Amino acid sequence: MIMKYLNKERTTRFCIVVLSVLGLIGCIAVLFPQVRLWLMDLAEHILHKKIVEYQSWFRMFLSYAIGGICLILFFDYCTLTESGRLLVQKVKDELKDCFLAIDFRLLLKPILFMAGIYLLGILTIIRANFLYIDDIERAVSGVRHWYNYSRYISEFGSIFVHADTNLTDISPIPQLLAVLILSISSVLLVYVLSNKRITVVRLLATLPLGLSPYFLECLSFKFDAPYMALSILASIIPFLFISRKRAFLFCSVVSLLIMCMTYQAASGIYLLVTIMICFHNWNSREKTDKEILSFLGLAAFAFCFAMIVFRFILMRHVDVAFDPSTTMHPLTNIIPGTLNSIKGYATIINQDLGLPWKTGILFVCIFFITKSIHVSRRKKTLSFFISFLTIILSFILSYGVYSLLIIDSFSPRLLYGFGLFLSILCISVVSDYKKIATVTVLALNWCLFVFAFSYGNALADQSRYAEFRIGILFHDISALYPTQQTENLSIQLDNSIEFAPSIKNISKHYPVIERLVHRRLGTNFIWDYMYFWKHFNFQFELVDKTYMDFEPLSLPIVLDSYYHTIKSDGSRMLIILKH
C-alpha cells in the first residue's frame, strides 16, 4: 500500500514538473515580439476580423505571460515543496475553522428581510423599464464588452446569467440578483462590524449601501447591476475570516481581485471596513495597539498586493474616450493631483446632495463622534480627534483608488463607496446608543428610501416624455423624406430633450436627480446614435458636432414647430431641439 502511494505521488509530481516546464516555455516564448506577432495573426484568423489595437494586445500578451510565470512558480512551490504543502494545509485548516464559526442559520432571516426592503426600494426602477446608457446597445446588439474594462467576471458571468453568449434583455432578473447580493452584503456588514449581533435597526442602518443615489444608478442598469453588487460583497467577505491571519490574507487577495474584475469603483470598501474595525478595537481597547497595527499592516499588504497583480497582470490597457482614465497622476504630481481628485469628489457630492440629506449626514457624524467619546476607554480628547480623523479618512477612502487616477468625470456610479461610508457610520451610531441617534439614522435612511421611489418614477416620466418628443420628430422627418431614402442623409442634433417637469421639481431639493436621469438625444453622441439607428430602425448618418458643425452652414429652415426646428439642404439636416 505504501509503495502504491509513493508511486502515485511520484507520478503526480512528475506530471506537475512536465506541465510546469511546458507552461514556462510557453510563457517565456510569449515574451519575444515575434511570438506575440504570430499570436496576433492567429487571433485575427480565429476571430475573422482585423485587430487594430496591436500595442494593447501586445501588452496584454506580455502581462499574461509574466502572470503565467508567477502563477506556475507559486503553484510548483505549493505542490512540490514541503513548506509549500504545509502552508496550503494551514490555510485550508484556517478556512475550515472560520467557516465552522459562521452561523449561517442566523443569517438567513436577515437576508430575506433585507431582500424585501431592497426589492421594495427599487420597485419603481423595475417598473420604469428604462434602457439605461449601456443597456441601449446591449439590448439590440447582444454585445458584452466588459472584457475591454478588465471586468472578466462580468464578461463570463453574464453568459451564465443570460444562458447564452449573446445578451438579451431578461430584466428584472439581473436586478433581482443584484438585490439578493446587496442583501447578503448588508447582513455581512452588520455581522462583521457588530460582533455577530444582528438587529433590525442595524440592518436598516445599512440602507445607504444599496439605496444611496449613487448605487441607484448601478441598479438602473439592466445588464450590469448584479456584477456591480458583487463588487461590494467581495469587498466584505474577507472580514469573515478576520480571526485567522493566513485565511484572512488569502481571502482578501482573492476577493479583492474579484472586486477588480467586476467593478473597480468598490476599491475603497475594503479599506473602509478595515479602518472602522481598527478604530473600534482601538477606542474600546479590545485589542492591543500591536495587534491593531498587525491587522492593519496585513490588510494593507493584501490590498496593495491585489492591486499590483491586477494592474500589471490582469488589467487591459484599452483607452476608451468615454471611460474613466486608468492613468495615474505622475509621481512628480501625485500629492497635488490626489488632493485635487479628493477635492473634486467632495465638491460633486456637496452639489449632488439636497439639504435634508446634508442635515442628516451632519447629525450622523456628530453622533458618531459623541458616541465614540462616550464609550471610549481612551482619553476623551484623544478619542475626539481620532474619531474625527476616522470620519475624514473614511470619506477619502470611500473614493478608492480613483483618487490616484486622472479622471475628468465623476459619474454617479463611480461614487457608490460614499453609500458604504454612510452605512458604516450609521451602524456604529445605532449600536447600543441613544434613541435620538437611532431616530436620526432611520430618518436619513427614510429620505434615501423615498428618493429611490422618486427616482424610479422620474425615469418613467422622462421615458414617456422622450418617446413623445422622438415620435413627433420622426414623424416630421418621415414627412420630409417619405421615400425612406435616408442613406445619404447626414443628421446633426443641437441641444437635447429637456427634463420632464417632474424631474425639475425633484431637482429643487435633490440636485443629483439631473445626473442620474439619462436624457435622450444630444447628451452623448454614441448612445444617441444607438438609440436613433438601432431602436427605431432608422438608417442614416449621425454627425458628431465635434467632427463637423452644421450650424455655420446656414442651412435653410424646412420645418419649424413648437418642439424643434429642422434645417436641411437635402443632404444635411440640422435638428434644433427646443426647451
Range name among 47-61, 89-103, 125-139, 443-457 with the lowest pLDDT average = 47-61
Q: How many CA atoms lie within 13 A of 270 on its CB side?
A: 34
Give the least confident one: 268-282, 308-322, 444-458: 308-322
Helix axes 380-397, 355-375, angle to 10 degrees: 140
Query: 242 with 263: CB under 8 angstroms?
Result: no
Backbone torsions φ then ψ of 564, nearest 5 degrees:
-160, 160
Q: Are 128 and 460 in contact (CB under 8 A)?
A: yes
Are the C-beta atoms of 237 and 230 separated by less than 8 Å?
Answer: no
Task: With CA atoms as reference, report the closest residue to 216 among 521, 505, 527, 517.
Answer: 517
Task: Say if residues 176 and 119 touch (Cβ distance below 8 Å).
Answer: yes
Nearest one of 271, 275, 267 to 293, comparing CA atoms: 275
| Residues 471 and 520: beta-carbon distance below 8 Å | no
pLDDT at 318: 56
At residue 548 the predicted structure's pLDDT band, cuts being 50, 70 and 90, is confident
Q: What is the pLDDT of residues 345-368, one digit of tens each?
A: 999 999 999 888 999 999 999 999
* Cell numbers at 574, concatenated: 440640422
- Region 204-210: mean pLDDT is 94
Indicate whether this model's pTM tops 0.85.
Answer: yes
Rounded CA gap, 196 and 357, in Å? 29
Q: Quote the pLDDT of residue 3.
A: 55
In this predicted structure, what is the pLDDT of residue 116?
95
Asked whether residue 135 carries a pLDDT value surpassing 70, the answer given is yes
Q: CB 337: neighbour CB atoms within 10 A?
A: 18
Alpha-carbon dihedral 303, 305, 308, 309, rounded to 10 degrees: -110
Q: Is the pLDDT of residue 195 over 70?
A: yes
Can you say how many angstroms the Cα of residue 145 is from the centroid of all Cα atoms in its chain?
15
Mean pLDDT confidence for 397-408: 85
**When comparing pLDDT for 145 and 35, which is higher?**
145
pLDDT surpassing 90 at residue 178: yes
Task: Check residues 52 and 97 and name the one with the higher pLDDT.
Answer: 97
**Residue 446 CB burial class (10 angstroms; 0-12, 13-18, ≥19):** middle
Q: What is the mean pLDDT of residues 370-394?
A: 92
Contact 341/405 with Cβ under 8 angstroms?
yes
3-class DSSP assignment, residue 564: strand
Residue pLDDT, tens place only, 478-498: 888 877 555 577 888 888 888
458 within 8 A of 502, measured Cβ to Cβ? yes
DSSP symbols for 94-137: HHHHHHHH--HHHHHHHHHHHHHHHHHHTHHHHHHT---TTHHH
Task: Give the full edge-to-edge strand order of the sheet including 564-568.
Answer: 541-542, 490-494, 572-577, 564-568, 557-560
> Is the model's pLDDT at 119 over the cut of 90?
yes
SS3 label, residue 566: strand
- From the number of C-beta atoms within 10 Å of its C-beta (0-12, 13-18, 19+), residue 88 rates as middle
**Sequence spans of domains, the chain:** 2-80, 93-433, 456-577
pLDDT in tens, 72-108: 888 877 877 888 888 888 888 888 888 888 888 889 9
